[in-house]
């Protein structure tokens, strides 16, 4: 991709205080986009936005719960008021709550559904409405997962939401295409981020052993795929899901979960 391919574009990226979301926001800004950066953690959001600005990018933080319709509307309004339009939306925010299916608590299921499904749906809706008002094209990207394609123990709720997002992308082709808006999904496999390394120091070793390419993904691997689907190079691609997993879904061996602390019901 050439430099500044996203010049004059305006993007919302949720869950972007760190990890994959931050890398997508950073790369978009480096290539000319103006960014509205969201994270539930206000301190993380402000620091991430400051880091992008220090690298000569344009970025403003809008912290808050990405499943809250008021926060979503604020993000869209900030994009329009600050940068004049909205052309890209990346629904990256999501949560993973492992749990034994037989003991999975209703409150945990509700939260996973709220963030992963409702937040992504409402951001897509609010962004698409704004893009339609602008009478121009737009790009929407949903963040799925390989577990939306392959079974993974203790992730029934999470996997269900990720498969649902891929169906949302496919279904909305019918309603968004007449307005020049594309919608796609990226499905990352095991990825080295601050969160995964904090949760499991053995994460790189475990996933290197069971990934055909010999290593888990890094943030840049996922962001590179995301930027392709957000760029003019993918103008005729919509309703699709791009798996970025080093070949894991081709063979799908599970890590050893015998020592995992699985959340149980009361």
Q: CA 206, 208, 211 angle in degrees (round to 5)?
A: 110
State yes or no: is 177 an active-site residue: no
Handedness of CA 239, 245, 249, 255 (dihedral sign): negative
Query: What pLDDT, on a 0 to 100 scale, did the predictor assign at position 264?
Result: 47
Handedness of CA 73, 74, 79, 80 (dihedral sign): positive
Task: Describe the crossing of helices 219-230 and 19-30 by its angle, rounded to 10 degrees.
Answer: 50
Query: What pLDDT, on a 0 to 100 scale, did the predictor assign at position 255?
Result: 81
pLDDT tens digit sequence for 147-177: 999 999 999 999 999 999 999 999 999 999 9
Query: What is the mean pLDDT of the segment spanning 38-51?
Result: 98
In three-state secondary structure terms, 87 is: coil
State yes or no: is 162 an active-site residue: yes
Catalytic residue among 83, 104, 158, 203: 158
Alpha carbons 114 and 116: distance in angstroms, whole number: 6
Q: Which domains does the chain have, with CATH numbers?
A: 10-189+219-250 (3.40.50.720)
Alpha carbons 173 and 185: distance in angstroms, whole number: 12
- Of the two residues 144 and 256, the one the predictor is more confident about is 144
pLDDT at 261 over 80: no
Query: What pLDDT, on a 0 to 100 scale, did the predictor assign at position 102?
Result: 96
CA atoms within 13 A on the CB side of 54: 6
Band of pLDDT at residue 136, cut at 50, 70 and 90: confident
Alpha carbons 218 and 261: distance in angstroms, whole number: 25
Q: What are the structure tokens assigned to 112, written together?
A: 């996973």
Catalytic residue among 145, 154, 231, 241: 145
Contacts of 70 (CB under 8 A, 6+ apart): none
Catalytic residue among 83, 120, 144, 162: 162
Total-model pTM:
0.93
Q: Is 262 left (phi over 0), alpha (psi -120 to 50) or beta?
A: beta
Continuous H helices in the chain: 19-30, 42-54, 69-83, 106-112, 120-134, 156-171, 173-176, 194-199, 203-210, 219-230, 248-251
State yes or no: is 120 an active-site residue: no
């Amino acid at each position: 991709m050439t430099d500044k391919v996203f010049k004059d574009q305006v993007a919302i990226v949720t869950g972007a205080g760190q990890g994959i979301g931050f890398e997508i926001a950073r790369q978009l800004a480096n290539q000319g986009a103006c960014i509205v950066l969201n994270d539930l953690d206000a301190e993380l959001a402000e620091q991430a936005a400051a880091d992008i600005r220090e690298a000569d990018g344009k970025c403003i933080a809008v912290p808050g719960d990405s499943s809250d319709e008021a926060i979503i509307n604020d993000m869209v309004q900030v994009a329009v008021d600050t940068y004049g339009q909205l052309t890209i939306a990346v629904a990256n925010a999501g949560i993973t709550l492992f749990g034994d299916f037989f003991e999975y608590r209703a409150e945990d299921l509700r939260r996973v559904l709220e963030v992963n499904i409702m937040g992504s749906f409402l951001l897509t809706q609010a962004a698409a409405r704004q893009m339609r008002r602008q009478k121009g094209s737009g790009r929407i990207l949903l963040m799925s997962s390989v577990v939306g394609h392959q079974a993974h123990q203790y992730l029934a709720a999470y996997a269900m939401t990720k498969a649902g997002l891929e169906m949302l992308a496919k279904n909305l082709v019918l309603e968004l295409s007449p307005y020049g808006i594309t919608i796609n999904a990226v499905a990352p496999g095991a990825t080295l981020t601050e969160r995964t390394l904090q949760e499991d120091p053995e994460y790189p070793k475990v996933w290197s052993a069971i990934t055909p390419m010999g290593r888990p993904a890094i943030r840049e691997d996922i962001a590179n795929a995301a930027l392709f689907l957000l760029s003019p190079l993918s103008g005729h691609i919509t309703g699709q899901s791009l798996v970025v997993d080093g070949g894991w879904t081709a063979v799908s061996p599970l890590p050893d979960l015998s020592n995992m602390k699985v959340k149980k019901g009361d």
